[in-house]
Amino acid sequence: MGFVFRTVEAGKPIDERFDVSDVQGLKALLRIIDRETDQIGESLRRHRRILEHSTDRISRRLSRMSLQRRLGIIAGEIDLQG
């Protein structure tokens, strides 16, 4: 049985082929799965930090506004930028 791992590095598509019918090929496949899992986890953590930072910044801006203005922004009647 074979496995093809497709990825893009430096803008160039790369195909890695593995024969997973033996122990060596299966170990190579498991290393790829571990590596990709780690990269997905790091990407999620990075995006979570960005979202938390953005949410904090917006919350601070809203807290400095009047209640009437905040309600208008939340209702979508007033643009947050305006």
Q: Convert the pLDDT of each residue in 35-68 to its tens digit.
A: 989 999 999 999 999 999 999 998 898 889 899 9
C-alpha angle with apex 37: 5 to 16, nearest 5 degrees? 15
Q: Where are the alpha helices (DSSP H) in the chain?
A: 23-63, 67-75
Percent pLDDT > 90 in the chain is 24
Closest by CA to 16, choosing from 27, 5, 7, 25, is 5
